[in-house]
Structure 1
Amino acid sequence: MRRQTRWMAALAVAGVSLLATACASTSESAPESAAEAAPEAAPESTTEGAAAEGRLAVAYENGLAVLDGETLEVVDRFETEEFTRLNPFGDGRTVVVTTSQGFQVLDTAEPALTDLVFDATTPGHVVIHEGKTVLFDDGTGTTTILDTDAFGGGYDGLPESETYVADAAHHGVSIVLDDGTLVTTVGDETARTGAVALHAHDDHWDEAASSDQCPGIHGEGTAAGEAVIFGCEDGALLFQDGAFTKLTAPDDYGRMGNAYVSETSPIVVGDYKSDPDAEGYLLNALTLVDTEAVTYEVVDLPDDVQFTYRDVARGPEDLAYILATDGRIHVLDPETGGLTDAFEVVAPWEGPAEWQDPHPAIKVSGDIAYVTEPAANAVHAVDLTTGETVASAELDAAPNELAIALG
């Protein structure tokens, strides 16, 4: 049910401090606590270029596979560490594999798990926006900024990058906006408190705006008009038009940890948890943040529509698609907060004991949703305009992380 009260953002913009500096060098991360034998190699493929765009990378225990985006056939397999995370680089070909060594580069077109690694002690979030791909190292607080087309000339070496090092290491995230503004989280080993907006200037960064009004800041999303949203343990933090604004949750503890966005919609869909002591990683409510009206509200979902951080995505018509424990994809209209449809996709499932454990996930490219079903060692492609499952494939291991080589 939709909570009737619409919670307006505080009218006061979070405190802004100007011209403070921080040093720079030149060289979707673990979620929070309950708040949230290698297969044989496939034959080598020579498919490259446009025909390989939109391929999938699927991680499983001690390995990963590259799948064709239309047929879901396995193109190649690679051995890797026991647990890895996957993120698209944004060029239609490259996927970033987070390992104990850092951000390793996977070429899905060749395909090849290259030897190229962006060093990181604790590799975390990867954010793509306006031609920049930004890596965040939780272990050092280092933001690495790269051109999204950096591998256009091949994978002969690591491309040039720009870096910013936070005052203290923390589980964070950064994004670079169209005008070059770096918006990044603030925290240390004991707490995360907010975010700061920075402008590059010669050999340092100038602070343009900041806010310390976002306890437990986590996750990032960019809505229409470059409205950047972060989740807080008591609401959300919005950055737009050069300033931060705090939006307050209706509950004393109202944690939004992940933002699901469309850059053509002003409405952000976020996950929501109001009980800090709840066990497990299943959630049963969503937030709707209207970045134009600057409002924040909570939608309580039916009891059988439960999900984890992996199970919400935006898709056709800027709708939200929720892969729930009842095995169906539920369609939510962010404009109204109402559920409008549901598609049968996988068998009913239970929430994971640990967040890293394999459990169903959904990722969307165009009209197609890719869904993992670990209990069946399967991956499915679903046409979200019809609800029809258009392709399925059975793997030799339970799929865990999933990424689409988006361009």
Structure 2
Amino acid sequence: MRSSAFAAALLPLVLLASACGGGDGSGDNAGGTDEAATADWKPRKAAHGAVKPRLLVSDAGSGRVDVIDVASGKSAGTLKTKGAARLHPTDPSGTRVFAVQGDDDTVQLIDAGIRSKAHGDHEDAAHIDPSVVDGAIDVPAPSHVVAHGDHAAVFADGDAGITMVHLGEGAPKDLAAEGDPVRGGDAHHGVAVPIGDELIASLGDGKGPDNDRRVGAQVIGADGKQTKAFKDCPDLHGEFSPDDDTVLFGCLDGVLKLHRHDGSWEAEKIDGPTKGGEEEKTGTIVGQQGATRVLGDYSEDTVVVIDTEKDTSTPVEVPGGVATVAWDPYWEQGLVLTKDGVLHAIDPEKAEVVAKVQATEKFRTESEDGSRAVVAAAENFAYVLNPTTKEVVEVAVDRKGLEAGRSMAFDYAPRDLAIVGLAPLETGAADEHENDHEGENKEGDKEGNEEEHDHEH
């Protein structure tokens, strides 16, 4: 891993006064080429033939989802889902995004229109209008959708039902459940991870406030029956699977690690830095495939680097009030946005902050209109959603640090943010395009600078 140095200076932002365009949102695909932002989102030229990533922004007050061409800032189309959606990409290098609508008891699938076509010995971008895929998963209060391998698991909080969706080769064109839902026990706010023929899922006991107490995790076999239960993770929330044999869950008192050894699942507890409690607990875990160190939230001013080999949890102080955490797989680092608008980069090997920048203004973590703080990582950029100002800010990422740049404001309360069409990590495509992929160089660097793009894949 190559670490970033501290940014030399914090750059001020110029907030946009105009709203985001892109159609009236009345149909499945309103299309259109209206600009999504003013000149503050300066167009950036992409390399010839390069895939152009698209940014999806959902409205907290309706089923509107804007799809934006990142390079130009123009609308690629405005879509309409049944209700306000949380956005879960099936694969950042792909084109499909789950639109999870917990208040409307449904999950839909968006095709962002990322396409390519053969051109000699390579492929060029050939994007089409985005659309809402036919079909839906209708279940009571769907919450988390986790994609792993060729499948995704949709968890329904209303009845703890787990619905499988096939995503791999041979998957149906329309969104459809693969078989009947599997019952995960008593209803609770939960999550499930598909691992081969098994499901690693949260476990509730039907007690506590609103009968929503989570006590641990369980293994569900191919026959839909529980094969093992591990009741040592109070208030379970947040999951991450770094490989096919490990699943991590956040707990009130640390992190529960389930590991498969000789075909059998075993559990170990990774204690938090302190005894834990309502003010000091892990509820979100982020990382990348193959990683042995991942990042979790912990307290108001602290996150933790979790070492899955040594089973340790190292605190990292992040003053400003932790709002949300994310992972940047291209630069192999954690990203922490604090409520004072500062974005921090954390080196998991050193367990320390290695860069930070004033990305946006101070904000409330979640606004009254349903907007929330979000960070989405791309290849050379991170995108920060400020729920108070209703703006998205682009932050450039390179080995020199972080630098705030373009921004766009919306005339509605953004609920969620996602980006797709990125270079797949396993192919090294980001290195091939260097800074010209998404692209695209940082503003003012139109010639391309190999030294600005030194990812390790």
Sort the TM-score into its range (normalised by shorter chain). 0.7 to 0.9
Do the aligned partners of residues 363 and 299 (structure 1) sit closer, same or farther apart at CA in structure 2, a change above 3 Å counting? same
What's the counterpart of residue 398 of structure 1?
A: 413
* 3-state SS of paired residue (1:200): coil
Of residues 258, 269, 273, the one that matches 2:284 is 258
Does the CA-based 8 Å contact 2:363-2:389 persist in structure 1?
Answer: no
Of residues 282, 294, 298, the one that matches 2:311 is 294
What's the counterpart of residue 124 of structure 2?
A: none
Structure 1 alignment gaps of length 5 or more: 1-36, 274-282
Q: In structure 2, give the amino acid aligned to 1:102.
A: T
What's the counterpart of residue 173 of structure 2?
A: 154
What's the counterpart of residue 246 of structure 1?
A: 269
Do the aligned partners of residues 153 and 185 (structure 1) sit closer, same or farther apart at CA in structure 2, a change above 3 Å counting? closer
Does the CA-based 8 Å contact 1:88-1:95 persist in structure 2?
Answer: yes
Structure 2 residue 318 is matched with structure 1 residue 316: no
* 3-state SS of paired residue (2:360): coil
Matches within 5 A, 1:11-90: 40-41=23-24, 44=31, 54-60=53-59, 61-62=61-62, 63-80=64-81, 83-90=84-91
Does the CA-based 8 Å contact 1:95-1:108 persist in structure 2?
Answer: yes
Of residues 197, 221, 224, the one that matches 1:199 is 221
Residues of 2 paired with 1:195 and 1:405: CA distance? 31
Q: In structure 1, give the amino acid aligned to 2:363.
A: W
The Cα of 1:161 is off from its aligned counterpart by 4.2
Q: Structure 1, residues 77-107: CA drift from partner, whole Å, max 9, x if none?
A: 2345663322112371221112213112222
What's the counterpart of residue 447 of structure 2?
A: none
Does the CA-based 8 Å contact 1:214-1:237 persist in structure 2?
Answer: yes
Q: Structure 1, residues 305-342: CA drift from partner, whole Å, max 9, x if none?
A: x2223x43334332111122232211111222211111
* 3-state SS of paired residue (2:222): strand
* 3-state SS of paired residue (1:372): strand
Does the CA-based 8 Å contact 2:163-2:178 persist in structure 1?
Answer: no
Does the CA-based 8 Å contact 1:264-1:318 persist in structure 2?
Answer: no
What's the counterpart of residue 391 of structure 2?
A: 378
Q: In structure 2, give the amino acid aligned to 1:59.
A: S
Residues of 2 paired with 1:225 and 1:316: CA distance? 21
Residues of 1 paired with 2:177 and 2:417: CA distance? 25
Do the aligned partners of residues 153 and 168 (structure 1) sit closer, same or farther apart at CA in structure 2, a change above 3 Å counting? closer
Matches within 5 A, 1:265-284: 265-273=291-299, 283-284=300-301
Structure 2 alignment gaps of length 5 or more: 1-18, 34-48, 114-128, 425-457
Q: Structure 1, residues 103-145: CA drift from partner, whole Å, max 9, x if none?
A: 1222221312345210111010011112221111111111112
Q: Structure 1, residues 130-183: CA drift from partner, whole Å, max 9, x if none?
A: 22211111111111122223786633x626346321121111101112x43311
What's the counterpart of residue 105 of structure 1?
A: 109
- Cα RMSD of the aligned pairs, angstroms, is 2.9
Of residues 226, 243, 251, the one that matches 1:232 is 251
Structure 2 residue 193 is matched with structure 1 residue 175: yes
Does the CA-based 8 Å contact 1:358-1:398 persist in structure 2?
Answer: yes
Residues of 1 paired with 2:339 and 2:302: CA distance? 14
Q: Structure 1, residues 335-393: CA drift from partner, whole Å, max 9, x if none?
A: 22211111232123233356x73243201133321222344443233221152446433
Does the CA-based 8 Å contact 2:363-2:387 persist in structure 1?
Answer: no
Does the CA-based 8 Å contact 2:164-2:177 persist in structure 1?
Answer: no
What's the counterpart of residue 280 of structure 1?
A: none
Q: In structure 1, give the amino acid aligned to 2:220.
A: L
Does the CA-based 8 Å contact 1:358-1:399 persist in structure 2?
Answer: yes
The Cα of 1:216 is off from its aligned counterpart by 0.8
* 3-state SS of paired residue (1:218): coil
Residues of 2 paired with 1:247 and 1:374: CA distance? 33
Q: In structure 1, give the amino acid aligned to 2:132.
A: L
* 3-state SS of paired residue (1:255): coil
What is the percentage of aligned positions where both structures have the same residue?
Answer: 25
The Cα of 1:223 is off from its aligned counterpart by 2.2
Does the CA-based 8 Å contact 2:314-2:351 persist in structure 1?
Answer: no
Residues of 1 paired with 2:409 and 2:276: CA distance? 45
Q: Structure 1, residues 202-241: CA drift from partner, whole Å, max 9, x if none?
A: xx4351x321011111111122564211011111100112
Q: Structure 1, residues 251-310: CA drift from partner, whole Å, max 9, x if none?
A: 24142111011113211211113xxxxxxxxx32112211001112333323x3x2223x
Residues of 2 paired with 1:106 and 1:151: CA distance? 18
* 3-state SS of paired residue (1:308): strand
Structure 2 residue 337 is matched with structure 1 residue 338: no
Does the CA-based 8 Å contact 1:256-1:272 persist in structure 2?
Answer: yes
TM-score (norm 2): 0.69
Does the CA-based 8 Å contact 2:31-2:78 persist in structure 1?
Answer: no
Does the CA-based 8 Å contact 1:225-1:266 persist in structure 2?
Answer: no
Residues of 2 paired with 1:190 and 1:41: CA distance? 39
What's the counterpart of residue 279 of structure 1?
A: none
What's the counterpart of residue 124 of structure 1?
A: 143
What's the counterpart of residue 326 of structure 1?
A: 340
Residues of 1 paired with 2:330 and 2:352: CA distance? 16
Residues of 1 paired with 2:82 and 2:194: CA distance? 30
Do the aligned partners of residues 41 and 271 (structure 1) sit closer, same or farther apart at CA in structure 2, a change above 3 Å counting? same
Q: Structure 1, residues 43-92: CA drift from partner, whole Å, max 9, x if none?
A: 6269xxx9777422211222221112333322122345663322112371
The Cα of 1:190 is off from its aligned counterpart by 4.2
Residues of 1 paired with 2:198 and 2:336: CA distance? 32
Does the CA-based 8 Å contact 1:379-1:392 persist in structure 2?
Answer: yes
Runs of 4+ with deviation above 6 angstroms: 50-53
* 3-state SS of paired residue (1:213): coil
